[in-house]
Amino acid sequence: MITRLPPTRLSMAIYLIFAMLIMAMTGCAPSVQAENPTWVDQLISNYQNEPVGNPPQSIWRYDYNGQTVYYIPPQCCDQYSTLLDAGGKAICAPDGGFTGKGDGRCPDFIDKRTNEQLVWKDSRSR
């Protein structure tokens, strides 16, 4: 025999299921990215006014040696990547170049970086 809940209990059960579903979906949503420094927004604007790179340009945020840094991957063969501090000052080239090992000034970046966040990626097609 099927037992039916009284309308008030049924309404409460539907409400609770709906509320739990909303909370579960909110917990799985990507976190809202903090506002970018002005220089990052300007760099993005500059990239958007240039032809699409190969591969398309991107900017990544990491924690490295106790500071927030921004990593810009190399654009094609034998070019250096760029690692910038939170103020936009170049720290080093962690990879790229003829050897693929960057300029040697931060050889541990790839291994020690944490908290990867994509800040921006050029979504235009070539």
Q: Do the domain assignments include residue 105?
A: yes
Q: Which residue has the higher pLDDT, 14 or 60?
A: 60
Q: Do the domain assignments include residue 19?
A: no
Q: Do the domain assignments include residue 5?
A: no
HSE value, Cβ hemisphere, 13 Å, CA-based, for 110? 11
Kindly report, residue by residue over 65-123, the tens digit of the pLDDT. 999 999 999 988 899 999 999 999 999 999 999 999 999 999 999 999 999 999 999 99
Kindly report, residue by residue over 23-59, the tens digit of the pLDDT. 444 443 333 356 899 999 999 999 999 999 989 999 9
Q: Note the pTM of the prediction, 2 decimals.
A: 0.72
**Token digits of residue 12:** 């409460």
Q: Do the domain assignments include residue 88?
A: yes
Q: Do the domain assignments include residue 108?
A: yes
- Which pLDDT value is given to residue 25? 41
**Token digits of residue 56:** 């398309």
Residue 19, pLDDT above cutoff 80:
no
- Which pLDDT value is given to residue 65? 97
- Which pLDDT value is given to residue 77? 85
Q: Do the domain assignments include residue 69?
A: yes
- Which pLDDT value is given to residue 6? 55
**87 CB neighbour count, 10 Å cutoff:** 9
Q: Do the domain assignments include residue 95?
A: yes
Q: Do the domain assignments include residue 100?
A: yes
Q: Taking residues 14-30, what's their average pLDDT? A: 41
Instruction: Give the number of domains in the chain.
Output: 1
Q: Taking residues 5-17, what's their average pLDDT? A: 49
- Which pLDDT value is given to residue 2? 57
Domain range for 107: 38-121
Peptide bond into 55 cis (omega under 30): yes
